[in-house]
Amino acid sequence: MRPIEVHDLRKAYGQVRAVDGISFEIDRGEVVALLGPNGAGKTTVVEIIEGHRTADSGTVRVLGHDPARRERALRERIGIVLQEAGFDEDATVAELVRLHRDLYPRRLDAAAVIELVGLTAKRSARVRTLSGGQRRRLDLALGLVGDPEVLFLDEPTVGFDPEARRQAWSIVRDLRATGTTILLTTHYLDEAQHLADRVAVVVAGRLVALGPPAELAARGRSTVIEFRSAEGADVTTLPDALGDGARVERDGAGWRVTTEDTTRALHAMTGWSIEHRVPLDAIEVRRPTLEDAYLTLVGERAVHAGADEAVPT
């Protein structure tokens, strides 16, 4: 039994299919990032898995439980960090963390969790005095203090400065190392690339891709090699050296080579450079990124999606 199992999940609002036959599983200690444009249906998927919304059909199991039944035995074992949570504005950080801690049979030390999320200096501060980023840190503390086996993170680093984001990423990696299963939704593709073992892309209610970030990034994309050469240098014979499958194009003050075989192309380019005594300067290899793959997937689906396929988030 895997911590999260989703099979043929479906949810409609009137004639709109918000979730249209989604299936996936998440292993213990795995971080899966759920990506998709606004209105893709990813929030509906997560809310069903959390037990906040019911599906029309399909099955969902979280730690062996049906989340739609909202059993205490399940809620005691999961943590949820919402994108925006309501707090008692007059409570202090320490008071809220201790209050939430007391709700769980498995619990972490409140002071340790406050330190972990970087709020030790604000432990006695009232919520109304916290900045947006500090509130997000408090959200994270409340999600962690029950020592969850499964953790749901909804845009966990919105409002964080770069240092705070890196600290949050470190926390997620540490949790994964201890066996916590994490389902993450984020609009930051670099966050998904850094944290996720696998990425799931949802478009128009359907799961259009699922796999490791590097695997998705490499799917159907070419490597770009950029370089400069001396003004007036003759590079007209370079395409012949590269052979079929590679393109050479002018790119401003330099040149761009697009290829499916990076190693072969670089070998051919350096050999050609030596033979023709044409130096290749400022060589830069840009491999496909998760962002490239994501934009391609979303763009391809957008072309085929009609106006009637717009779905709730």
Instruction: Please give the full DSSP string across 250-277, using - where no structure is assigned.
Output: EETTEEEEEES-HHHHHHHHHHHHHHHT
Task: Give me the domain span that covers residue 191.
Answer: 4-77+149-217
Position 93 in a domain: no
CATH number at residue 50: 3.40.50.300
Are 71 and 159 within one domain? yes
Half-sphere exposure of residue 86: CA atoms within 13 angstroms, side-chain side = 0
Are 227 and 279 within one domain? yes
Position 54 in a domain: yes
Are 10 and 61 within one domain? yes
Are 203 and 242 within one domain? no
Structural domains in the chain (count)? 2
Q: Exposed, middle or buried: residue 253 (CB in 10 Å: 0-12, 13-18, 19+)?
A: exposed
Are 282 and 242 within one domain? yes
Are 155 and 251 within one domain? no
Position 127 in a domain: no
**Per-residue pLDDT of the chain in tens (313 residues, 90 and over written 9):** 899 999 999 999 999 999 999 999 999 999 999 999 988 999 999 999 999 999 999 999 999 999 999 999 999 999 999 876 677 889 999 999 999 999 999 999 999 999 999 999 999 999 999 988 899 899 999 999 999 999 999 988 887 888 888 988 999 999 999 999 999 999 899 999 999 999 999 999 999 999 999 889 877 668 889 999 887 788 889 988 998 878 898 888 889 898 888 899 999 999 999 999 999 998 999 887 888 888 888 876 554 444 334 444 4
Contact 184, 42 (CB under 8 A): no
Half-sphere exposure of residue 288: CA atoms within 13 angstroms, side-chain side = 22
Contact 119, 138 (CB under 8 A): yes
Position 186 in a domain: yes
Boundary of a domain, candidates 200, 217, 234: 217
Are 10 and 68 within one domain? yes
CATH number at residue 233: 3.30.70
Position 115 in a domain: no
Boundary of a domain, candidates 187, 217, 247: 217
Cα dist. 2→25, 31, 110, 180 in Å? 7, 13, 29, 12
CB atoms within 10 A of CB 178: 8
Sign of CA dihedral 284, 287, 289, 295: positive
Contact 211, 45 (CB under 8 A): no
Give CA–CA dist 101/90, Å, rounded: 18
What pLDDT is stored for residue 306 in this prediction? Answer: 42
Are 207 and 263 within one domain? no
Q: Exposed, middle or buried: residue 97 (CB in 10 Å: 0-12, 13-18, 19+)?
A: buried
